[in-house]
Amino acid sequence: MSTSPRIVHPSGDAPSTGSDKTMYYSTSMPLEVELPANVSTEEQLESLPDECLTGDPVHPLLFTDSRGDNYKYHLNPMTYSVIYILIVELLERFAFYGINYTQAAYLTGAYNRNWNANMEAVQASSYVSVSTAIAYTMPFVGALLADCFLGEYYTIAGGAMLFYIPGLTLIALTTIPGCLGPTFNQSALRWGLLALWPIGTGSVKSVVNVFGAKQFHPILQSSLIESYYVNFYMCINIGALAGGVIVPQVAQYDITTAYFIPVLVLTLGVFLFLLGTPKYVRTRPQGQFQLWTPKAERKKSPYEFLTPSPSTDFSLMTVLKISLLVIPFNIAYSQMATTFIVQGIVMEKLFGCIDAATMNNADSVAVLVFGYLIGNMLYPTLAKCNIKLATTHKFAIGSALGALAIAWALLVEYKIHSRFAESGEKVNVAWQAMSYVLIGAGEIFAVSAAYEVAFTASPPEAKALASATNLFCIGGLPNIACIILYQICAAWFHNASGTSSLSHLHEYAESKVYKYFFLLFLVSCFGVFVNLLPSVRDWVATIEEEAAAAMKTPMPTPMTPRRPIRNKGGAVDSEEDDEEKTALLKAKKHENYLKYGSGPQLYKQGSFRAGILWEMAKNKQPPKTKPSKYIQYPQGLTMYKGGSSVPVVRNPSQEAQTTRGMEALEKALEGKNLDDPDLSNTTL
């Protein structure tokens, strides 16, 4: 069986994490091990090292995190535990869009003329905007709770039961005449619509996708996460489609019944989520408060070079920079609820009943169809051919599809203007369908990939916060950009009278909305250009590779026989005591090893003296023994098997750490006789 190196402390005891002087030594050299990333069958278990297995037939896969916590994973988490998480996401989106699509109409009294909030259209729109803004800001709070205090499971359950369901219930109760007072209770509406409901949806939204991804083994099932996020996004759109159709239709007959449907649906979702509790992998929260600061800028111990960490410079700012790459596509996506509606209002209804607002559901249908084709056919086919689309290429494809959607809207603009000029007749709203279909296809590439990279490229202690950052780039910043563009391009939305009323065909024909669509087309093309730049592609790929490498370092390694350890006095530790203190058997005794990776920076060959590092300091160069074989470590460190155990450093930060180690040893030996044999006992 292939083995990996065991790292022990010179004293035989576990090193203190607060120690300024800590040296590790490798007692055995590793053989090269390649682990699969798609383990899902019993046959694949036979090829895995024993250290990756638990012996549990239900949860056979084992993973040890950076703190020494062990977690067990199922072979098929999608059907075992993730299904509960996907269902709760589907039902939560049903509840969200059922309320979101009908808010403005409810507040203005469209569903009940005798009992309503009696708001004007501008005031109702402001309520909707504020509610949405809160919903897209609250993911940061939910993520902070999940990463630092409660964990994903309790954040989801608590957010849904303490805020989400009570908020929906309060909104529904305001629809019952006389229930909360003799007149319409504006205060109850504000509490439900502007506080409880958006806080609940925001706190759940950023956490639920991360919790689902964490059900997969981070190494042995890492390639399955891609398909998970495609399925996750499909569930979002199934819920959005169902809620966006059922609730508005029922509301036309009874708004009270319509608004209690989301309450019951979400309650069912939370019940099913709790039902799957015994099956979930629940990791301990491991958050920090320096999440936005790159590691290179954080305070370090002056002796950190003795136990160097991987060179990966993780921070949430990195996740933010990556998520910014999808903003051009999401600007195009945002037009579905705004400019596409403005365009569709002056078009003829399909079959006399399907208007521009209903056409939004074409996007959800497209997401479901393309989600299945891409997630279950395209990606697996590419995987069989050993082809994996780069993340930035997915972003580029999504932006290209967004650009095509805007180009199609420009074509519709041409038809509207030309038809009106020829005969004064309207164009059928069915012509808009292609724009929605192209946007839906683009979502599968761009948005689902953004969800995935926010999870895989984020630091382990900030998965939920990374998800919140990604959501802000998907729903927050693009809408802010659209508001700015509207202000800049306001003149293009004016009719011949100089007003922004475009509800009639002749008024729309007098405007220059086509110029705005052309500007959006250029923005989407810019997104394609940026994501196809080799430098951007390589930068994102490097971040992902280093994140994967950092995830691999905590893997447990097997026990291998080693030489008895001689203390300074010459006493030999017993074999039994040696095994008792083996670092890999007790998590607390190898915390630094797990934290800083599988390849120690400083080595020795015969005893706990300065060894090979001493020779390097004395001769000012490495031994000339030619190595026979090398091993590639995840952090970019190369260690040799046979001949020399001197590491070859492949990146500047690791090289700098080794240089500092050499300088420290030379300083300790300064002024001493380097030929004195007693100096071979020198330790740092």
Domain final residue, candidates 500, 519, 542: 542
Residue 481's contacts (CB-CB under 8 Å, 6 or more residues apart) are: 327, 331
**CA–CA distance, 479 with 570 (Å, rounded to integer):** 71
Ramachandran category for residue 284: left, alpha or beta (phi over 0 → left; psi -120 to 50 → alpha): beta
Question: What is the tally of structural domains in the chain?
Answer: 3
In a domain, 623, yes or no: yes
Confidence of residue 500 (pLDDT cuts 50, 70, 90): low
**CATH number of the domain residue 331 falls in:** 1.20.1250.20
| Span of 142-156, 248-262, 535-549 with lowest mean pLDDT | 535-549
Domain final residue, candidates 491, 519, 542: 542
In a domain, 531, yes or no: yes
**CA–CA distance, 442 with 333 (Å, rounded to integer):** 9
In a domain, 51, yes or no: yes
**Which ranges of 138-223 would DSSP assign to H, the alpha helix?**
139-145, 152-159, 165-173, 186-191, 197-213
Residues 346 and 212 in one domain: no
Residues 509 and 627 in one domain: no
pLDDT digit string (tens) for 187-225?
Answer: 899 899 888 988 898 888 878 988 998 999 888 888 888
Residues 19 and 124 in one domain: no
Higher pLDDT, 111 or 77: 77
What percent of the chain lies above the pLDDT cut of 70? 68
Q: Which amino acid is at 457?
A: A
Residues 534 and 625 in one domain: no
pLDDT digit string (tens) for 411-454?
Answer: 999 999 888 888 888 889 899 999 999 999 998 888 888 877 87
Q: Would the CA dihedral through 190, 195, 197, 198 be positive or negative?
A: positive
Is pLDDT at 162 greater than 80 in this prediction? yes
Is pLDDT at 267 greater than 70 in this prediction? yes
Residues 11 and 132 in one domain: no
In a domain, 174, yes or no: yes
The SS3 of residue 64 is strand
Confidence of residue 659 (pLDDT cuts 50, 70, 90): low
Give the mean pLDDT of 599-611: 32
pLDDT digit string (tens) for 106-149?
Answer: 887 777 878 888 876 546 666 776 777 778 778 888 878 887 88
* pLDDT score for 69: 84
End-to-end CA distance of the chain: 35
Domain final residue, candidates 239, 262, 281: 281
Residue 499's contacts (CB-CB under 8 Å, 6 or more residues apart) are: none
Confidence of residue 301 (pLDDT cuts 50, 70, 90): very low
Range with the largest mean pLDDT of 371-385, 586-600, 611-625: 371-385
* pLDDT score for 123: 64
Range with the largest mean pLDDT of 29-38, 311-320, 454-463, 675-684: 454-463
Is pLDDT at 619 greater than 60 in this prediction? no
**CA–CA distance, 585 with 560 (Å, rounded to integer):** 12
Is pLDDT at 605 greater than 50 in this prediction? no
Residues 462 and 416 in one domain: yes
| Span of 181-190, 225-234, 282-291 with lowest mean pLDDT | 282-291
* Confidence (pTM): 0.59
* pLDDT score for 65: 79
Ramachandran category for residue 564: left, alpha or beta (phi over 0 → left; psi -120 to 50 → alpha): beta
What percent of the chain lies above the pLDDT cut of 90? 19
CA distance to 379, 383, 394, 534, 541, per residue, from 386 (Å): 10, 5, 17, 21, 16
pLDDT digit string (tens) for 516-532?
Answer: 899 999 999 999 999 99
Residues 525 and 559 in one domain: no
* pLDDT score for 89: 93
Residues 197 and 226 in one domain: yes
Confidence of residue 550 (pLDDT cuts 50, 70, 90): low
Give the mean pLDDT of 327-350: 83
Containing structural domain, residue 581: 7-58+554-681
In a domain, 303, yes or no: no
Higher pLDDT, 630 or 393: 393
Residues 535 and 574 in one domain: no
In a domain, 287, yes or no: no
Residues 336 and 403 in one domain: yes
- Mean pLDDT score of the chain: 73
**CA–CA distance, 332 with 294 (Å, rounded to integer):** 32
Residues 410 and 534 in one domain: yes
* DSSP class per residue in 540-565: HHHHHHHHHHHHHTT--------PPP
Higher pLDDT, 600 or 668: 668
Residues 441 and 363 in one domain: yes
